[in-house]
Amino acid sequence: MKSGMSRRAGRTSLHGTHNGRRVRAVGAVVGALAAATVGLAPSAVADDVQAKQWYLGPMQAEQMWKASTGKGVKVALIDTGVNANTPSLKGQVLTGETPASVAYRSTVDYEGHGTTMAELIAGTGAGGSLKGLAPGAKIVPYRVELKGLKGGAAEKKKTPEPAEAIRAAADTDAKIINMSFGNAAPFPEVEEAIKYAASKGKLLIAAVGNKGRSSGDNIGYPAGFPYVVGVASADKSLTVSKFSSSGNSVDLSAPGQGFPGWCDTNFRSYCDDVNGTSSAAAIASGAAALIWSAHPDWTVNQVTRALIDTAGRTWAKNNPSKYAGYGFIRPRLVLENADYEAGSAHVDPLRAENGGDLLAKSTASSASSSSAPSPSASIPSQAPEKGSTGGTSAAGSSAESSNDNSTLWVVLGAVAAVLVVGGGGVAVARARRAR
């Protein structure tokens, strides 16, 4: 782990690219709009917007929504703010539930980025707008200081920092914290906030960054921190996006390229091809909301394990890819299987990479201060065991019985869809070190 930097050393950025170019670093921060734009062009016909969300069909969204829409699940969206008045988000944003300490202008989006993420997670699709993967879920907006914030020193002073928002969200009843932003540097206050939120049982999901494929590890933070599920991007051909960062902290992959989003603060029309790992993280949060809504008694460990076990991949699960992690999200396999076994509630399926079971430790610590014994002390592990390569086995999982584990979602046409590295044309499976 790199040493931390002072909190004002550089502004945290949203992972992404502008017109195919990487955003230049600001100070010590190297990150970019995660849903940044490539070839911006306003969508001419609103009704075409959902048709351009190419992943809804292959993921069998309509079928999944018969089982779960994400109802009852709140997602804390830490971003550029959320415009709660777009057609897709009316009634979807819990504007009064942002903690007062970090509520400054939470519904004023200074980039359009946060609003796009909110719609991809929980948008209703009203009026031909973007349809979220979990349209029954609700968004709790957090507006933090990221690259693109305007207003000078006074505005920066009033606007919360990511670490403050993460801590505040950890103390709410939101189950998922979506972070579609990142830094090249591992700020220590953000890492501590992450640990705090993880100890509270939150599912932390972040974009891995848009620095492209590399022989090394170029994952941004917070995705690079333990206890965060890092999400990479794939395109319509189920190819890992060329811009998607790679490395040991890629845990899952999701759609992140080739569909519309907001690219300004006018909110008059969408722009086509708002691409980035930000979108992939948001869609992964939507997938988690679907699963958690269907299984409200599950813990973060069980939801995470379900995402990992059912992910589509062509490689062994004990040998995760540095580009796609454990594979492409397929929440359908959990929702359609009434007998799915999610394993131990108290064992982190990524504990080898994370350095232990933080939630279990927190539970045990809390229990030791009372007369009640620790609920995790006598429970045997049913979770996938992490190996030295950072992989998992299928212990306690129903995923191995699935007949389509060799595909990511479904068979498209007559050709099985397999995840490939952008431009490479072959499936990838790279062993990775523990974080």
CATH, residue 296: 3.40.50.200
Question: Is 278 a known active-site residue?
Answer: yes
Residue of 15, 106, 113, 253 marked catalytic: 113
Q: What percent of the chain has pLDDT over 70?
A: 72
Using N-to-C axis directions, what is the helix angle for 162-170 and 188-199, rounded to 10°? 10
Place 355 in a pLDDT band, splitting at 50, 70 and 90.
confident
Give the pairing of strands 239-240 and 420-421: parallel
Is pLDDT of 408 > 50?
no
Integer Cα distance of 276 and 93 in angstroms? 23
Whether 421 maps to a domain, the answer reads no
- Domain count for the chain, please give it: 1
Residues 313-338: tens digit of each pLDDT = 999 998 999 999 999 999 999 999 99
Q: Could you give the percent of the chain with pLDDT greater than 90?
A: 68
The reply to whether 135 falls in a domain is yes
Query: If DSSP codes are grouped into helix, strand and coil, which group holds residue 328?
Result: strand
Q: Is residue 385 part of a domain?
A: no
Residue 115 in this model has a pLDDT that exceeds 60: yes
Q: pLDDT, tens digit, for every residue of 207-218?
A: 999 999 877 899
What pLDDT was estimated at residue 14?
75
Domain region containing 186: 17-334
Query: CB-based contacts of 415: which residues, under 8 Å, 6+ apart?
Result: none
Predicted local confidence at residue 364, as pLDDT: 54
What's the Rg (C-alpha) of the chain? 20
Instruction: Name residue, tokens 């950072």.
Output: 390
352 or 358, greater pLDDT: 352
Tokens of 417: 């869809």
Q: Tell me the H-state helices in 187-271.
A: 188-199
The mean predicted confidence, pLDDT, of the chain is 79
Judged by average pLDDT, the poorest of 11-15, 260-264, 424-428 is 424-428
CA distance 64 to 367: 38
Cβ-contact 223, 269 below 8 angstroms: no
Give the dihedral of Cα atoms 129, 235, 391, 211; nearest 10 deg. Answer: -100
Does any domain span residue 319?
Answer: yes
In the predicted model, is pLDDT for residue 387 greater than 90? no
pLDDT tens, position by position, 128-158? 999 999 999 999 999 999 999 999 999 999 9
Residue 299: inside a domain = yes
Q: Does residue 340 lie in a domain region?
A: no
State the average pLDDT over residues 279-295.
Answer: 98
Reported as a pLDDT band with limits 50, 70 and 90, residue 286 is very high
pLDDT band at 48 (very low <50, low <70, confident <90, very high): confident
What are residue 177's DSSP bridge partners? 76, 204
Q: Whose structure tokens read 């992964």? A: 284
pLDDT at position 216 is: 83
Q: Tokens standing for 331?
A: 């929440």
Torsion of CA 341, 345, 350, 352, to 10 degrees: -120
State the pLDDT confidence band at 246, using cuts at 50, 70 and 90. very high
Give the pLDDT band of residue 360 (cuts 50, 70, 90). low
pLDDT at 40 over 80: no
- Output the pTM of the full model: 0.81
SS3 content of the chain, % helix, strand, coil (to 5): 25, 15, 60
pLDDT, residue 362, reads 61
In DSSP terms, which residues pair with 75 in a beta bridge?
A: 139, 176
Indicate whether 46 pLDDT > 80: no
Which distant-in-sequence residues (6+ apart) come within 8 Å of 93 by Cβ?
82, 84, 107, 118, 138, 139, 140, 141
Can you give the pLDDT at residue 357?
82
pLDDT of amino acid 72: 98
Q: What is the DSSP string of 76-114?
A: EEEEB---TTSTTTTTTB-GGGS-GGG-TTTT--SSSHH
Residue 363 lies in a domain: no
Q: Which residue among 15, 79, 180, 241 is the active-site one?
A: 79
Token pair 């212990």: residue: 395
Give the HSE-up count for residue 392: Cα atoms under 13 Å, Cβ half-sphere: 29
Please give the Cα distance from 325 to 219 (Å, whole number). 12
Question: Which among 100, 82, 101, 102 has a CA at the least distance from the CA of 92?
Answer: 82
Q: How many angstroms separate the CA atoms of 170 and 359, rounded?
A: 13
* DSSP state for residue 59 in the 8-state scheme: T
pLDDT beyond 60 at 386: no
| Cα 296 from chain centre | 19
Mean pLDDT in residue range 104-122? 98
433 is a domain residue = no
Q: What is the pLDDT of residue 47?
A: 53
- Determine contact, residues 358/199, Cβ cutoff 8 Å: yes
13, 278, 376, 397: the active-site residue: 278
Cα atoms in the Cβ-side hemisphere of radius 13 Å centred on 297: 3
In the annotation, is 79 catalytic?
yes
Q: Please determine, for residue 416, whether its predicted confidence score (pLDDT) is greater than 70.
A: no
